[in-house]
Structure 1
Amino acid sequence: MTSIFLVALLLLIPILFLLRSTKPSKRVPPGSLGIPIIGQSLGLLRAMRANTAEKWIEDRINKYGPISKLSLFGTPTVLIHGQAANKFIFANGGDSIVNQQTQSIKMILGDRNLLELSGKDHSRVRGALVSFLKPESLKQYVSKIDEEVRSHIRMHWERKKQVKVLPLMKTLTFNIICSLLFGLESGKQRDQFMNPFQAMIKGMWSVPINAPFTRYNRSLRASARIQKLLKEIVHQKKVEHEKNGANSRQDLISCMLSMVEDDKQVITENEIIHNAMLVMVAGHDTSSILITFIIRLLANEPAICAAVLQEQEEIAKGKLLGEPLTWEDLSKMKYTWRVANETLRRFPPIFGGFRKAATDIEYDGYVIPKGWQIFWVTSMTHMDNNIFPEPSKFDPSRFENQASTPPYCFVPFGGGARICPGYEFARVEILVAIHYLVTKFSWKRLSDNSFSRDPMPTPTQGLLIELFPRKQLS
């Protein structure tokens, strides 16, 4: 009898174990991590350059569902999309999701930039940036941006029959950043930044293999050069501040240097340098691309161009000859800003972004493991027919009432507490640039309508246009 009992017990143990193991368990999302390090990175980058990245994402969604695993830029990643995903990313105020970009971005921009910080460090550094970039501070810089735009147009647009828009817009936004954020006027010191800066941004989204002749390697070397130049500027401004009590509001670096609590600098030197680089990249590429695509749109849509021109000419009529634009003038450019927002919806400069799971996170029936990247994609809500009817149609009236857009659906600048601190700065430089361009010129597109992403949208031939000077208002 005893032997029978023992046999039954031995048979029962594995059955009980199996029953226990078949309880609902935590599962990672479906998908494949692919080849180690490379994963699906090359496939995504190829799709972006071919301007089929949205289809690449949609194919994954059709195959695996609304959440799937893959490997991007050397790290296991979970792709999520949609309004709920955006809210999950931007409204998460706890410690479960933290800032972390791809390895390539982290190594190129530095590990003390705002995109890498969380918790108290994020709040401290963000507060320093916002103190300079908030509307109350920017009001006094409108005339400086106005001066840079007019100087740029005199030098690169007037008396020209044809121009390539994107390279010129990159030059303009680069000069505004150098002047306003770093206090660098035109000259040798500003010029030293241009070539390494262009080389640095080319490797921002790249497979992090640091081998000679790779984009990543070239970007790392360019980053080291820029950090050295910025370090020199920081030291120079520190000396000026100690000697002369320099105005803390004259540029971003001076502003951050002036922040002191208990006789200690609030922002470290590395944080100043790394966040100066972040602002360079964010303010340079996103604004230059948005202005370029607005110009492209105005060439394609005569009725919208006429409405923008009418609004801007009304503002110009109220100005004396040579009088700069003011903050109040910008507040009147409501239709132009709606056009800018619709351009951002259709052609967001930022394709998507990354966060990191700081702990195991349950989401949509799956678990995102601790340490994995979370990848969200901007266009998945921008082009959702349930959110924006006829999403392929360009319609600025969508933004007549911003409150009518569901939250976390229009996210070109992020959302919630994580919204881009440079949002208002971008608005100022875009509106000032468009004002002078549309009141001084009309244009005709000479290149085709196609563009690729590398990783930001780049029109064919840099958007080549033919210029026609307008008769200036008396």
Structure 2
Amino acid sequence: MRANTAEKWLEERIRKYGPISKLSLFGKPTVFVYGQAANKFVYTSDSSTIGHQQNQSFRMILGDRNLFDLSAEDHKRVRGALVSFLKPESLKHYVGKMDGEVKQHLEMHWQGKQQVQVLPLMKTLTFNIICSLLFGVERGARREKFKACFKEMIVGTWSAPLNLPFTRYNRSLRASATAQNMIKDLIREKRVELEQKGASHQDLITCLLSIRKEDNEEALTEIEIVHNVMLVMIAGHDTSSVLMTFIMRLLANEPAVYAAVLQEQEEIAKTKPSGEFLTWEDLTKMKYTWRVAMETLRMVPPGFGGFRKALKDIEYGGYLIPKGWQIFWAMPMTHMDSNIFPEPSKFDPSRFENKASVPPYSFVPFGGGPRICPGYEFTRIETLVTIHYLVTQFTWKLCADNSFSRDPMPVPTQGLPVKLVPRKLC
């Protein structure tokens, strides 16, 4: 992963053994599956047949009641609770708040700078958006403490689960315990607010606390809220920051695409009085910009792959997958398959002009089927608002080569340093 040769390694396995083969990963017997049929098999299989299977470090740091480790009715119940906040009908009311966070971030960290490192700044931005919109934690000492815990926690999610002093895993476990206690404090505060002021869906935690059985939904336990808030922290932070970083990298290398994005965004900017926030209607006009984001996700998906667990003996592809074995698949494999996407190394947003032209279960950065990522719409809004202000306020030039590694998310060389020029000076 760190040498960014994992795809080549898997391609070699496919050439040798075909689209299904066995190996050992994280000390467990594992089946690697590849192709559209494999993706469909993973994403649509009944929850009594295949369950989520995260590595031990991820599960211990986030907690075992997070959505990725639940199956059957528990998965459906918790997912439904998260979707109640993350669905478009709810999120359209938060575009203005996200707009304000992006503007404030650019003013603090980008304006007046000649050179910046994009990835660390994008991580700062996405973390601040998460704190504001999902937790209701505004700028200040509490948010800074959250940030310090979060940084320490996230580095151990893919580490070897050796709980010894001074190991990465041990430090992450301790940071996780601190973060979970902070979330419990938030839950207690918001529960008191709910009792005093009534139901309100102003942030994710409040929304989850508001779910009552009279709404025909079963309330989440406190530990379920804590573990799933932890999950949303990591999922929303890493994926969005990586996506926006690589959009900037690709736009710097593709002048024609940059010009088309700029034209689309300038037309929207012209309709906005000075200082006015973007709206949901503005985002619906950013069709080309989102196609650029989709093509970026095709070429550099933030997640490399995932794990499931066979809950019983499964017949697949003429083979028996024994109960208890891990099932592993990798997202980039179908994304870069020339039989699915002609000239896969070419950056071409027009691939996504027509949904029908993309074969089912071949483009899976957000998963697919009943387990598609509930944060898809949140990521779309966050990305479009950020790219709008970046391209209308700046032009940039890369200061390092185009290489990147995975740890496990894609990390561009030196965090993608760029030379910035304000557009009014261009």
1:374 and 2:308 correspond: no
> How much does 1:113 deviate?
0.4
Q: Deviations over 1:76-97 (max 9, x none)?
A: 2111111010000011135111
Q: Deviations over 1:35-63 (max 9, x none)?
A: xxxxxxxxxxxxx1011110111122233
1:241 and 2:194 correspond: yes
Unaligned runs of 5+ in 2: none
**How far apart in 1 are the matches of 2:201 and 2:99?**
18
Q: Is the 8 A contact 2:77 2:218 kept in 1?
A: no
> How much does 1:239 deviate?
1.4
Q: Is the 8 A contact 2:52 2:70 kept in 1?
A: yes
1:211 corresponding residue in structure 2: 164
Structure number with greater Rg is: 1
> How much does 1:120 deviate?
0.8
1:284 corresponding residue in structure 2: 237
Match of 2:376 among 416, 419, 423: 423
1:132 and 2:122 correspond: no
> How much does 1:284 deviate?
0.3
1:253 and 2:205 correspond: yes
Structure 2 residue matching 1:444: 3-state secondary structure:
strand
Match of 2:268 among 291, 307, 315: 315
1:394 corresponding residue in structure 2: 347
**How far apart in 1 are the matches of 2:276 and 2:342?**
42
2:290 corresponding residue in structure 1: 337
Change (3 A) 1:455 1:420: same
Structure 2 residue matching 1:174: 3-state secondary structure:
helix
Q: Deviations over 1:9-41 (max 9, x none)?
A: xxxxxxxxxxxxxxxxxxxxxxxxxxxxxxxxx
> How much does 1:265 deviate?
6.3
Match of 2:256 among 303, 316, 321: 303
1:230 and 2:206 correspond: no
1:156 corresponding residue in structure 2: 109
How many residues are treated as equivalent by the alignment?
A: 425
1:403 and 2:346 correspond: no
> How much does 1:262 deviate?
5.4
1:325 corresponding residue in structure 2: 278
1:174 corresponding residue in structure 2: 127
Aligned-partner residue type, residue 145 of structure 1: M
Structure 2 residue matching 1:455: 3-state secondary structure:
coil
> How much does 1:64 deviate?
2.7
Q: Is the 8 A contact 1:445 1:463 kept in 2?
A: yes
Q: Which moved more, 1:390-399 or 1:57-66?
A: 57-66
Q: Is the 8 A contact 1:298 1:305 kept in 2?
A: yes
2:390 corresponding residue in structure 1: 437
Q: Which moved more, 1:212-221 or 1:133-142?
A: 212-221
**How far apart in 2 are the matches of 1:252 and 1:400?**
33
> How much does 1:248 deviate?
2.3
**How far apart in 2 are the matches of 1:459 and 1:255?**
36
**How far apart in 1 are the matches of 2:218 and 2:43?**
30
Structure 1 residue matching 2:329: 3-state secondary structure:
strand
Change (3 A) 1:136 1:262: closer
Q: Is the 8 A contact 1:256 1:272 kept in 2?
A: yes
1:458 and 2:396 correspond: no
2:41 corresponding residue in structure 1: 88
**How far apart in 1 are the matches of 2:156 and 2:29?**
20
1:271 and 2:271 correspond: no
Q: Is the 8 A contact 1:315 1:329 kept in 2?
A: yes
**How far apart in 1 are the matches of 2:200 and 2:21?**
47
**How far apart in 1 are the matches of 2:325 and 2:424?**
58
Q: Which moved more, 1:423-432 or 1:59-68?
A: 59-68
> How much does 1:206 deviate?
2.2
Q: Is the 8 A contact 1:74 1:103 kept in 2?
A: no
Structure 2 residue matching 1:319: 3-state secondary structure:
coil
Unaligned runs of 5+ in 1: 1-47
1:384 corresponding residue in structure 2: 337
**How far apart in 1 are the matches of 2:320 and 2:210?**
44
1:49 corresponding residue in structure 2: 2
Aligned-partner residue type, residue 250 of structure 1: Q
Match of 1:356 among 301, 309, 313: 309
Q: Deviations over 1:172-227 (max 9, x none)?
A: 00000000000000011111111221121112122222222322222212211111
Q: Is the 8 A contact 2:158 2:408 kept in 1?
A: yes
Q: Which moved more, 1:92-101 or 1:269-278?
A: 92-101
Q: Deviations over 1:272-295 (max 9, x none)?
A: 000001000010000000000000
Q: Is the 8 A contact 1:353 1:377 kept in 2?
A: yes
1:104 and 2:51 correspond: no
1:13 corresponding residue in structure 2: none
TM-score normalized with structure 2 length: 0.97
Q: Deviations over 1:105-149 (max 9, x none)?
A: 111111100001111111111010000000000010000000000
**How far apart in 2 are the matches of 1:284 and 1:468?**
27
Change (3 A) 1:241 1:472: farther
Aligned-partner residue type, residue 258 of structure 2: C
